[in-house]
């Protein structure tokens, strides 16, 4: 889970869906900001597999490179 954000499998009960802004209870992949990224899934195994697949399919983050340069220059 090192590519962009770490995801964790979380079981969201029906009576807590409003806290995560989801429409139904189930297993979800939650990011480090408690946002549901993937789901719902029927089982922990399905959720873990989806997290694994997403991690494997995501492109590598850019490394090195240069910083963004605004075309208008410094303000002041």
User: Does residue 64 or residue 31 have the better pLDDT?
Assistant: 31
Question: What pLDDT shows up at residue 15?
Answer: 95
Token look-up 């079981």 returns 11
Question: What pLDDT shows up at residue 14?
Answer: 95
| Of residues 65, 52, 68, the one with CA closest to residue 8 | 52
Question: What pLDDT shows up at residue 5?
Answer: 66
Question: Quick check: pTM over 0.85?
Answer: no
Q: How would you label 7-22 residue by residue, b for 16+ Cβ within 10 Å and e otherwise? A: bebbebeeeebeeeeb
Token look-up 């429409």 returns 23
């Amino acid at each position: 889970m090192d590519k962009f954000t770490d995801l964790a499998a979380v079981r969201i009960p029906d009576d807590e869906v409003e806290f995560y802004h989801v429409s139904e209870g189930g297993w979800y992949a939650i990011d480090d900001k408690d946002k549901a990224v993937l789901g719902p899934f029927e089982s922990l195994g399905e959720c873990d597999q989806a997290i694994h697949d997403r991690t494997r399919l995501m492109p590598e983050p850019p490394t090195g490179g240069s910083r963004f340069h605004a075309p208008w220059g410094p303000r002041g």
